[in-house]
């Protein structure tokens, strides 16, 4: 049976994926910390931070794949949830600076002293406690996604309309966070962090631990996504993706399913942002730029939407390419390449790297096992999920 | 040598002036009076001021003005007097001829407080009766602002002579302002003054009326009612001003969104590279102006007229190319189209950045588009007015095209029912290519107009793309009237929110309102009616 084979092949790629991520998450920090600097096998600290950034992007891509690949919701504003999670973490890190800031104010972050603010705005309360900040990393993006999704899905805003208003959402947030009186550092954002949970954010050990934690978060996120898409709920999501009206006519409350998965996805994006900030050392409003969100979508498209593994792979591959090309003489050509990537992937590789590979693998395997079974092929056309909007 | 020239002109005008008024002496009292400055004696100086102010000479104003500013230099040895200006140029005060340098022995003519007052009075009456209309108007306005009692006589004298209507009105207002603050003016005079200020009805009049201090009861009452009516009329004017700004912004939005409405409405294609078509139109204008500047400078005023068709052709051709090479493979997959065209926009931006550099390029305003005029209490700039008219013209032409041409008929047929249109023998793929070309071409035209009010840089398009989408989504897809209403509604709403909430917050509020509005009407203000159910 093909469905069975499909699950098995997914299981195989999932297993490989988990093994690779877990291996990196353990070996890279160990090699960075234990081997002497300059040794052949030692991973330098800057690379640990760089790869940590990629892993965070991979979590973001995973969250986009969950809604786009499995539910057909193309969000062009997922960068907003990522950034909100990042800001929640950034606020905690700002409060940890304490008297070590330029102005030495024990309560107010530097930019507030600079703006002559008398006391902490109410929405900064509680961010000196890690548990509260960690909670907010999930709650703030989740709440925004819930409200936004509740409004949008209930009135059946779908397809490109949804994409456009998610873009408007992140654009509105971009404008808001650029304002100084909004209380989040305006243009400069939050930076100059010192400690996280008492450990120096610049220290090698902290960076290695953050990297390992990011890998752990990626694994957990992946498992959650897998659990969702392989459950009965996941089947309904795929039905919504492929034929929304039909699913509704069959009696499913489409908007509730969409709302659930959209909120979960936003929380994941928030976690990605929260892990991203201490590793990069800054969060500013440019993270809200609509371009960032669209770029994240293309990672998923490159890796293969609706494959989960592909999303993470796409994020790493595209960002590695970006680092590689923007740091050399080829820098002026990077935007050409990124643009071409958008066009070529949508035109020539609609299933992405992993999707194309899976299709090829299944096909060749089918040929190998039973060249005679015509029925399997016929059934194949029915059961294989269609890549529709 | 402009100083020299102007000095010559001055002396020429002076001779003409003197001849015309047939004053008795040509080389008598004026020159003698000027020479008195060199005596370094306060009473002589005062006498000189009186004679010069009454001489009617064209040099009188520069001399007294220089005296006030400490730039009137007198040489006690040669009894010559010089007027110097801030640039270090100087003229002979008696003859008005330029001199190369002022002798070292010359010192600035000294003043005391009594002299300063007579200098001020002389200056006021001189400028109030200056032969130049602009100077008179300015003088009257400055008297209005200062409303010094000492100027009353000069104003009255000027008022008796004045023939120019607007200067007369300004003098009347200046007189009213003085009388209002003059303690010994009669009640009738004050009431008249209040009425005059009420008629003027602007912010300055309001300031005078609110700050006039103790007055007789009847005057206070009249002033209160005048203040109320001025405030009302000011509020109305500020509404008119906001409405005008809103219309102007709306026209810009409409211009940017109209092409998008066509591609999105007719073909269902989300073209994220639409903003780049606008940018290409703006750069076409830049190139046209560059060519004109270097080859045919006389044609500069026509540069926009040349650029409009060119931008349409360039952007339209690129649009057709894009449709044929990318978009036609993605029909029925709107989300993929969105991504591919976003990629395209990156490529186009970077291509323009490589060709023209990342910085802003200079695109000039032709003479007929620069400047402004006053309409009541508001200022209207010509470029905004032209853009509004141009947008409406483009809109009308487009409507007519859709209504009366064969291509328009085919486009409407394809919009309403693509498959039926195809069965009726319409070559839908040709219509698609032409529609996309048309939409892009109009974006190019929009670029020509926007180059006049915005920076021409590779990022020009990006700043319009989200707004354009908002307009189209708000107005409703597939309906040009919806786009028109949407653009002007958003433009006006934005400008009315701006004074209340500030520019950025106003914009955020608009975005949030649109997001909420979409919940109520997911297909926009003017949705196409149909029985289709997607997916």
The listed range with the strongest mean pLDDT (A263-267, B212-216, B287-291) is: A263-267
pLDDT of res. A330? 83
pLDDT of res. B5? 52
Nearest alpha carbon to residue B105 among B33, B38, B46: B38
B326 touches chain A (CB under 8 A): yes
Q: Is the pLDDT of residue B26 over 60?
A: no
Q: Is the pLDDT of residue B477 over 80?
A: no
* pLDDT digit string, tens, across residues A82-134: 999 999 999 999 999 888 888 888 888 888 888 888 888 999 999 989 999 99
Using pLDDT thresholds of 50, 70 and 90, give the confidence band for residue A2: very low
Instruction: State whether B535 and A245 contact (CB < 8 Å).
Output: yes
Chain B closest CA to A155's CA: distance in Å?
Answer: 5
| Nearest-Cα residue of chain B relative to residue A344 | B340
As a whole number, the mean pLDDT across chain A is 88
Residues of chain B with C-beta less than 8 angstroms from the C-beta of A342: 339-340, 342-344, 346
The secondary structure of A316-374, three-state, reads HHHHHHHHHHHCCCCHHHHHHHHHHHHHHHHHHCCCHHHHHHHHHHHHHHHHHHCCCCH
pLDDT of res. B8? 57
Q: Is the pLDDT of residue B27 over 60?
A: no
Instruction: State whether B343 and A148 contact (CB < 8 Å).
Output: no
Residues of chain B with C-beta less than 8 angstroms from the C-beta of A242: 535
What's this model's pTM, rounded to 2 decimal places?
0.77
Using pLDDT thresholds of 50, 70 and 90, give the confidence band for residue B315: very high
Instruction: State whether A165 and B350 contact (CB < 8 Å).
Output: no
For residues B190 and B385, the model is more confident at B385
pLDDT of res. B523? 75
| Cβ neighbour number for residue B206 with a 10 Å cutoff | 19
Chain B closest CA to A108's CA: distance in Å?
Answer: 25
Q: What percent of chain A has pLDDT over 90?
A: 54
Instruction: State whether B505 and A179 contact (CB < 8 Å).
Output: yes
* pLDDT digit string, tens, across residues A198-257: 888 888 899 999 999 999 999 999 999 999 999 999 999 999 999 999 999 999 999 999
Nearest alpha carbon to residue B247 among B497, B450, B493, B475: B493
Q: Which of A67-76, B258-267, B272-281 has the lowest mean pLDDT?
A: B258-267
Convert A35-46 to b/e letters by CB count within 10 Å (16 or more is b): eeeeeeeebebe
Residues of chain A with C-beta less than 8 angstroms from the C-beta of B469: 164, 167-168
What value does the mean pLDDT take over residues B248-268? 85
| Nearest-Cα residue of chain A relative to residue B524 | A161
For residues A178 and A7, the model is more confident at A178
| Cβ neighbour number for residue B56 with a 10 Å cutoff | 16
Q: How far apart are CA A149 and CA A157, in angstroms?
A: 9
Q: How far apart are CA A240 and CA A238, in angstroms?
A: 5
**What is the predicted ipTM?**
0.84
Using pLDDT thresholds of 50, 70 and 90, give the confidence band for residue B325: very high
pLDDT of res. A389? 41
Nearest alpha carbon to residue B78 among B61, B47, B99: B99
pLDDT of res. A221? 95
pLDDT of res. A150? 92
Q: How far apart are CA B478 and CA B527, in angstroms?
A: 8
Residues of chain A with C-beta less than 8 angstroms from the C-beta of B350: 332-333, 335-336, 339
Instruction: State whether B515 and A165 contact (CB < 8 Å).
Output: yes
| Nearest-Cα residue of chain B relative to residue A182 | B505
What value does the mean pLDDT take over residues B70-84? 81
End-to-end distance of chain B based on CA atoms, in angstroms? 79
Nearest alpha carbon to residue A8 among A300, A361, A306: A361
Does residue A115 contact residue A180 with C-beta atoms inside 8 Å?
Answer: yes
What value does the mean pLDDT take over residues B263-278? 85
Does residue A37 contact residue A199 with C-beta atoms inside 8 Å?
Answer: no
Q: What percent of chain B has pLDDT over 70?
A: 92
What value does the mean pLDDT take over residues B263-271? 79
pLDDT of res. B522? 76
Tokens read off for A49: 């931070």
pLDDT of res. B22? 42
Q: Which of A137-146, B333-342, B370-379 has the lowest mean pLDDT?
A: B370-379
* pLDDT digit string, tens, across residues B45-61: 888 887 777 676 777 77
Tokens read off for A271: 């976690």
Instruction: State whether A165 and B533 contact (CB < 8 Å).
Output: no
B28: which DSSP letter? S
The listed range with the strongest mean pLDDT (A3-17, A170-184, A263-277, B22-36) is: A263-277
For residues B131 and A343, the model is more confident at A343
Q: How far apart are CA B83 and CA A101, in angstroms?
A: 60
Instruction: State whether A167 and B270 contact (CB < 8 Å).
Output: no
Does residue A113 contact residue A303 with C-beta atoms inside 8 Å?
Answer: no
What value does the mean pLDDT take over residues A356-367? 87
As a whole number, the mean pLDDT across chain B is 82
B505 touches chain A (CB under 8 A): yes
Q: Is the pLDDT of residue A332 over 90?
A: no
* pLDDT digit string, tens, across residues B182-235: 777 788 888 888 888 888 878 788 888 887 777 778 888 888 888 888 888 888
B336 touches chain A (CB under 8 A): yes
Residue of A173, A286, A342 to mutate, testing the B interface (most B Cβ within 10 Å of its Cβ)? A342
What value does the mean pLDDT take over residues B439-446? 93
């Amino acid at each position: 049976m093909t469905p069975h084979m499909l699950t098995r092949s997914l299981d195989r790629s999932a297993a490989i994926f988990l093994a690779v991520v877990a291996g990196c998450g353990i070996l890279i920090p160990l090699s960075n910390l234990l081997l002497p600097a300059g040794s052949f096998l030692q991973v330098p600290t800057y690379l640990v931070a760089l790869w940590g950034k990629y892993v965070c992007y991979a979590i973001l891509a995973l969250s986009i794949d969950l809604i786009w690949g499995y539910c057909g919701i193309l969000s062009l504003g997922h960068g907003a949830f990522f950034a909100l999670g990042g800001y929640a973490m950034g606020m905690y890190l700002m409060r940890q600076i304490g008297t070590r800031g330029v102005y030495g104010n024990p309560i107010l972050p530097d930019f507030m002293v600079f703006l002559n603010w008398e006391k902490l705005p109410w929405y900064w309360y509680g961010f000196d406690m890690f548990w509260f900040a960690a909670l907010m990393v999930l709650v703030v993006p989740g709440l925004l996604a819930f409200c936004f999704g509740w409004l949008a899905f209930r009135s059946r805003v779908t397809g490109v309309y949804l994409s456009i208003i998610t873009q408007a959402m992140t654009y509105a947030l971009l404008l808001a966070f650029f304002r100084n009186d909004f209380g989040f550092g305006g243009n400069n954002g939050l930076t100059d962090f010192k400690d996280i949970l008492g450990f120096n954010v610049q220290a090698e050990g902290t960076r290695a631990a953050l990297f390992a934690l990011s890998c752990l978060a990626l694994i957990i996120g992946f498992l959650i996504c897998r659990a969702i898409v392989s459950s009965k709920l996941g089947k309904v999501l795929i039905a919504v993706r492929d034929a929304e009206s039909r699913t509704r006519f069959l009696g499913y409350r489409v908007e509730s399913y969409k709302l659930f998965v959209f909120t979960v996805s936003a929380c994941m994006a928030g976690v990605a942002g929260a892990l991203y900030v201490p590793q990069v050392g800054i969060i500013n409003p440019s993270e809200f730029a609509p371009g960032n969100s669209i770029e994240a979508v293309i990672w998923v498209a490159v890796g293969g939407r609706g494959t989960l593994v592909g999303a993470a792979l796409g994020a790493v591959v595209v960002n590695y390419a970006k680092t590689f090309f923007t740091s050399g003489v080829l820098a002026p050509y990077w935007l050409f390449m990124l643009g071409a990537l958008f066009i070529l992937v949508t035109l020539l590789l609609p299933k992405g790297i992993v999707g194309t590979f899976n299709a090829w693998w299944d096909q060749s395997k089918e040929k190998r096992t039973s060249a005679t079974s015509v029925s399997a092929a016929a059934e194949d056309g029915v059961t294989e999920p269609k890549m529709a909007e | 040598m402009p100083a020299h020239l102007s000095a010559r002109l001055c002396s020429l005008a002076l001779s003409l002036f003197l001849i015309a008024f047939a004053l008795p002496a040509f080389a008598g009292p004026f020159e003698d009076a000027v020479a008195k400055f060199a005596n370094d004696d306060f009473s002589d100086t005062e006498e000189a001021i009186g004679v010069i102010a009454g001489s009617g000479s064209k040099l009188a104003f520069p001399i007294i003005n220089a005296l006030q500013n400490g730039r009137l230099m007198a040489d006690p040895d040669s009894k010559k007097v010089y007027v110097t200006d801030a640039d270090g140029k100087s003229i002979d005060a008696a003859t008005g001829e330029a001199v190369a340098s002022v002798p070292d022995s010359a010192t600035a003519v000294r003043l005391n407080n009594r002299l300063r007052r007579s200098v001020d009075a002389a200056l006021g009456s001189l400028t109030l009766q200056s032969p130049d209309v602009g100077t008179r108007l300015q003088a009257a306005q400055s008297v209005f602002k200062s409303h010094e009692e000492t100027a009353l006589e000069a104003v009255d004298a000027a008022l008796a002579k004045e023939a120019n209507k607007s200067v007369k009105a300004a003098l009347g207002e200046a007189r009213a302002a003085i009388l209002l603050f003059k303690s010994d003016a009669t009640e009738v005079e004050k009431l008249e003054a209040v009425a005059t200020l009420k008629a003027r009805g602007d912010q300055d009049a309001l300031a005078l009326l609110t700050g006039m201090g103790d007055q007789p009861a009847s005057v206070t009452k009249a002033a209160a009612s005048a203040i109320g009516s001025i405030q009302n009329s000011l509020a109305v004017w500020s509404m008119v001003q906001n409405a005008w700004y809103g219309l102007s912004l709306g026209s810009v939005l409409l211009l940017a969104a109209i092409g998008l409405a066509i591609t999105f409405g007719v073909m269902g294609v989300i073209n994220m590279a639409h903003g780049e078509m606008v940018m290409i139109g703006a750069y076409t204008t830049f190139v046209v102006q560059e060519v004109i500047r270097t080859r045919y400078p006389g044609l500069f005023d026509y540069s926009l007229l040349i650029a409009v068709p060119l931008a349409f052709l360039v952007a339209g051709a690129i649009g057709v190319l894009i449709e044929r090479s990318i978009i036609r493979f993605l029909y029925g997959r709107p989300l993929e189209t969105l991504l591919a065209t976003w990629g395209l926009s990156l490529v186009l931006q970077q291509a323009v950045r490589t060709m023209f550099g990342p910085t802003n390029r200079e695109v000039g305003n032709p003479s007929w588009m620069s400047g402004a005029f006053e309409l009541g209490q508001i200022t209207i700039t010509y470029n905004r007015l032209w853009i509004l008219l141009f947008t409406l013209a483009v809109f009308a032409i487009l409507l007519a095209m859709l209504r009366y041409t064969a291509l328009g008929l085919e486009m409407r047929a394809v919009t309403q029912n693509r498959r039926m249109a195809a069965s009726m023998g319409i070559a839908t793929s040709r219509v698609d290519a032409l529609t996309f070309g048309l939409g892009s071409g109009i974006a190019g035209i929009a670029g020509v107009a926007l180059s006049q009010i915005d920076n021409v840089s590779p990022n020009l398009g990006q700043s319009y793309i989200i707004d354009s989408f908002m307009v189209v989504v708000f107005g409703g897809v597939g309906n040009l009237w919806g786009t028109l209403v949407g653009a002007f509604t958003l433009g006006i709403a934005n400008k009315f929110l701006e004074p209340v909430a500030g520019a950025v917050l106003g914009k955020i509020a608009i975005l949030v309102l649109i997001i909420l509005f979409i919940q109520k009407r997911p297909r926009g203000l003017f949705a196409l009616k149909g029985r289709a159910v997607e997916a």
